[in-house]
Chains A and B, each alone.
Chain A
């Protein structure tokens, strides 16, 4: 009983120590008749020995307008670009579980039909190869380790990606 408790506590600490921020696996921008369909796939890796229960994840992404020479994370510049806040909120009994030593991928998608917003995406697109550069920031992940009643919050570093 003592050994099991100690081992679980060590595994718990190890899981928290090694749990990496989620990674953006793919970001796909597809034209549709009304505008754009955007799909973002996030992967949550769990190298620990205990499963993780994700209860919420929120992030904001911007489509970088590269014709503007300011830094991609410049606040004033971000204010002029196409942006969306995406998230999910569940509880510690229904949230998705990342198995011990495994991964879990989750998709977020947006159908952008507003002509103004769709225009912002189109104009931000690289004219040579059609790629889009996105900025992801303000990512906050809330999770539990196994069934241990302690809520944890992880903040994601900002991300700049070409899709």
Chain B
């Protein structure tokens, strides 16, 4: 793999992981701090269970060309970004210098639940992605294997061709 492809692949890996974290954080904040959200996303419990799983599932589908260990790294990165953004929201007024009291903690500790959910979603997404959208490397490998098998079949067929009577089988 050339340097350009490597950079592109790393860039995509980072982009999808960070995007997943941003999406999860946005829904988390909108659910737990509903008064501040531009849209009402409903019950926080449902959001915290469904959104990380769904977003991470899509992340897993997008990372189908990567190794499994990279998928786990992506889950970690997405969780880190999501928790970082939730903390950024909570301490936003303090960062800007306009805080009037302690940051709101309602449900913030639930953010720790994001990791197992994102990890599960990513791994399942990747596994399903491998089935429905197999990566090019696997397709190439399958093609090469099929060609090799066909070649073997042809060789075997040649070897096992019946020898006409009165002729010796050549080695």
Q: Chain A: residues with CB nearer than 8 A to chain B?
A: 1-2, 4-6, 8-10, 12-14, 16-17, 147-150
Contacts and interface: CB of A to CB of B under 8 A. Distances in A.
Contacts of B56: none
B30 A6 contact: no
Contacts of A13: 92-93, 98-100
Interface of B: 22, 25-27, 29-30, 33, 35-39, 85, 88-89, 92-93, 96, 98-100
Given A9-B33, A14-B96, 15 more contacts: A2-B22, A5-B29, A5-B30, A5-B38, A6-B29, A6-B89, A9-B92, A10-B93, A10-B96, A12-B36, A12-B93, A13-B93, A13-B99, A14-B98, A17-B98
Contacts of B37: 1, 4-5
A5 B36 contact: yes
* Residues of A contacting B: mostly: helix
Contacts of B39: 1
Contacts of A148: 35-36
Given A10-B92, A14-B93, A5 B26 contact: yes
A51 to B, nearest CB: 14
A9 B100 contact: no
A57 B93 CA distance: 28
B100 A17 contact: yes
Interface centre among A4, A13, A14 (most CB of B within 10 A): A13
Contacts of A10: 92-93, 96, 98
B37 to A, nearest CB: 5
Interface centre among B36, B39, B88 (most CB of A within 10 A): B36
20 contacts: A1-B37, A1-B38, A2-B22, A2-B26, A4-B38, A5-B33, A5-B36, A5-B37, A6-B29, A6-B92, A8-B38, A9-B89, A10-B92, A10-B96, A10-B98, A13-B92, A13-B98, A148-B35, A148-B36, A150-B35
B104 to A, nearest CB: 8
A6 B37 CA distance: 8
* Residues of B contacting A: mostly: helix
Contacts of B89: 2, 5-6, 9
B170 to A, nearest CB: 75
Contacts of B30: 1, 5
Nearest first, the 9 closest Cβ-Cβ pairs linking A and B are A13-B93, A2-B26, A1-B26, A14-B98, A148-B35, A4-B38, A8-B36, A5-B36, A16-B100
Contacts of A150: 35
A71 to B, nearest CB: 33
A6 B35 contact: no
A149 B89 CA distance: 18
Contacts of B85: 2
Interface centre among B22, B29, B88, B100 (most CB of A within 10 A): B100
Contacts of B96: 10, 14
Nearest to A3: B26
Nearest to A13: B93
Contacts of B38: 1, 4-5, 8
